[in-house]
A and B are shown apart, each in its own frame.
Chain A
C-alpha cells in the first residue's frame, strides 16, 4: 500500500523502524568512550551482569518462563572457568569455553526437569534446583568453600595477548558482551524466536499448530543457561575469583531485579538494568546497610507502578522498539 506522506513523517517512521539499530550504535559508542570516564573494573562488572541479564531475559521476556535459579549456571560456569584457568592452566578463552559448556550441560539437566511444570511451579523448581547445587558447591572440595577459588590467573588470550592490562581486558569483555548481545538479538528475530513468542502468548495454540513446545522451551532454556555461563566465566577471569556469591539464591534474585528494572522482554532493558543496579551497589556506599531494603523497594515499585521497566517505558512513550 503506497501512500503519499509528508517526508518528515517518513523520516520519523524510518527512525522508528531503525530504533534498535540506532540504540545499538549509541551503546557501542558509549562502551568505547566509557573507560575514559568510569572505572574500568566497574564497567567490566556491569557488562558481565548485563550479558547475564540478557541471557535471563531470553526466558522471561520471550518464552514467559521465570527462572528463579539462574545463579546456578552463572556461578557454576565461573567455578569451572576459574578451576580450568588456575588448576589446569588453560588459556582464558579455553577456560571461558569450559565454564560455558558446564553451564550448558547443567542447563540441559535442570531445564528438562523444570519445563515439566509451568508458571509459578517452574519458578519454584528452578529455585530449588539452584539451591541444591549451591549446597553442592559449598561442600565440594574444588570450589574452596567460603573462600572460593582465588588468585585465578587472567593469562594470555590465545597464548599471545596479555590480559593483565586493564584496557586489554576491557576490550575483550566488550567483544564478548557484544557477541552475546548480537547473538541473542538474532535468536529473538529468527523463526525460532517467533515460535518462542507464540508459546509465551498461548502455549496451547502453539501445540495445536503442531509445535513440540517442550523442545522449544528446553532449547531456549539451554541457550539462556549457556549465555549465562559465558557471563559467569568471563566474570571469573576478569575478577580472578569465583565464589559462592555467584551461585547463591540472592544472585538469582538480583538478575531478576536487573531485568525487571530495565524492562522484561526488551532488548536493551537488561543492559540498562544491570548498569543501574551495579552502579547503585558501587556508588551508594553510604547506604550499605539499606541495600537489601532498597532492592526490595525497587522490586515492589516496579511490579506495582512500572511493569514495563525503564527501557520499556521509554519505548512505550516514544512508540518505538528497544
Chain B
C-alpha cells in the first residue's frame, strides 16, 4: 500500500468513488438547468425546490398510497414535471419577451413559496425514507465498503445524463429542439408547435430535478430546505461549465463532485468553498466557462 500526500491510496480511491457519487447529483441538476436554459433562456431558481418536491413526492407516495421506491422513481418525476408545466403555462410564458432577470426573480419567488409551504405542513426536521430493500447492504471492494445504493446512484444518473445528451444531440426530436432554440419563428413555419415544445422541455427539466430528489431521499435528509443551498452550488457548477453544452454540464458536474470529494480528505475545512474558488479561477482564466461559447 502506497501513500499520496500522507493519505493511504486505498482511502484515496474510496474518496474518488464517493466524489463521483456526489457528482451524480450535481450532474443531474446542472443538466436540468442547462436543458431549461437552452430552451427557455431562463435560469430556473425553483430547481432546488423541485428537487425537494421530488423527494417529498417519494415520501408522500409511500405514506399515502404505499408506492415504494422503484415506482416512485418514475411516478414522482412525472407528477413534479406536471406541476412544472402548469407553472410554465400560467406564469413563465408571460416573461419570455422581457429581460431574462424577471424569470430568475419569478422562479426565486416560487422557490420561497414551495419551501415555505413544505415547512408549514411537514416541519423542518425532515421525513424518514429508507433505502429500498433490494439495494440495502453493500460490498467490500477491498479498498472501501461500497453501499449498493451508492453504486446504483452513479449508474442511474450516468444513464439518465447520457440518455438525455443522446436525445438532444443525436435524434430528430433533439434537432427540432435545438432548431427551435436558435430560431423559433422559422421552426414554427415548419409546422412544429413551439410553445408546446417549450412547455414539455420545462417539464422535462423539472422532472430531472425531481428524479434527483427521489434518488437523494434514501441517503440525504428529506427536508424543506434540502434544495436551497444545493442549488447555489449547482449554479456555481453551471457557471464553471457554461450552459452552452449538455455534455459540458454533465462532465463538469461529475468532475466537481470528485474535486470536492478529494478536498474533504486533504482539507475538509474548505470542502464547501472549493467549488466557489474554482468558479472564481475559471472566471479569471476562461470567462465563458469551460464548455461555454462566448456570448
Residues of A within 8 A of B (CB): 60, 64, 66, 68, 113-114, 116-121, 123-125, 127-129, 131-132, 135-136, 139, 249, 253, 256, 260, 289-300, 302-304, 307
Using a CB-CB cutoff of 8 Å, which residues 109-137 of chain B contact chain A?
109-117, 119-120
Q: B155 interface residue, CB < 8 Å from A?
A: no
Q: Are B235 and A113 in contact (CB under 8 A)?
A: no
The contact sample of 9 A-B pairs, CB cut-off 8 A, is A66-B105, A128-B276, A131-B276, A253-B108, A289-B120, A296-B110, A297-B113, A303-B109, A307-B98
B14 at interface by CB-CB < 8 Å:
no
- Beta-carbon contact of B100 and A303 below 8 Å: no
- Assess the A299–B108 pair: CB atoms within 8 A: yes
Bound Cα distance from A129 to B273, whole angstroms: 9
Partner of B109 from A60, A131, A291, A296 at Cβ < 8 Å: A296
Partner pick for A120 among B101, B119, B229, B236, CB 8 A cutoff: B101
Contacts A290-B120, A300-B110 supplied; 16 other A-B pairs, CB < 8 Å: A60-B101, A114-B283, A117-B239, A118-B295, A121-B239, A127-B232, A128-B232, A132-B276, A135-B273, A135-B276, A291-B116, A292-B119, A293-B120, A303-B95, A303-B102, A304-B106
Which of B42, B108, B279 contacts A125 (CB under 8 A)? Answer: B279
Nearest Cβ in chain B — how far from A140, in angstroms?
A: 11
Of all chain A residues, the one with the shortest Cβ separation from B280 is A113
User: With A121-B239, A124-B238 in contact, is A303–B116 under 8 Å at CB?
Assistant: no
Give the interface size class of chain B. 35 or more
- Docked Cα-Cα span, A249 to B229, in Å, equals 9
Given A128-B276, A131-B232, A299-B106: A120 and B112 interface contact (C-beta under 8 Å) = no
B104 at the interface (CB under 8 A from A): yes
10 closest residue pairs by CB, A with B: A299-B109, A296-B112, A292-B116, A296-B113, A132-B276, A293-B116, A128-B236, A116-B287, A124-B235, A300-B109
A256 touches B105 (CB 8 A): yes
What's the minimum C-beta distance from B272 to chain A, rounded to whole angstroms? 5
Least Cβ–Cβ distance between B9 and chain A, in angstroms: 29
Do the beta carbons of B273 and A300 come within 8 Å of each other? no
Residues of A within 8 A of B276 (CB): 128-129, 131-132, 135
Chain A nearest CB, measured from B107 CB (Å): 9
Query: Is B43 an interface residue, CB under 8 A from the partner?
Result: yes
Partner of B102 from A116, A290, A298, A307 at Cβ < 8 Å: A307
Give bound CA distance, A307 to B113, whole Å. Answer: 19
B91 at the interface (CB under 8 A from A): yes
**Bound state CA distance, A123 and B113, in angstroms?**
21
Known contacts A123-B101, A136-B273, A293-B112, A128 near B120 by CB under 8 Å? no
B:7-53 near A, CB below 8 Å:
37, 42-43
Q: Give residues of chain B (206-235) contacting chain A, Cβ–Cβ below 8 Å.
A: 229, 232-233, 235
Q: Does B267 contact A (CB under 8 A)?
A: no
B1 contacts the other chain (CB 8 A): no
What's the minimum C-beta distance from A121 to chain B, rounded to whole angstroms?
6
Asked whether B283 lies within 8 Å of A303 as measured between CB atoms, the reply is no
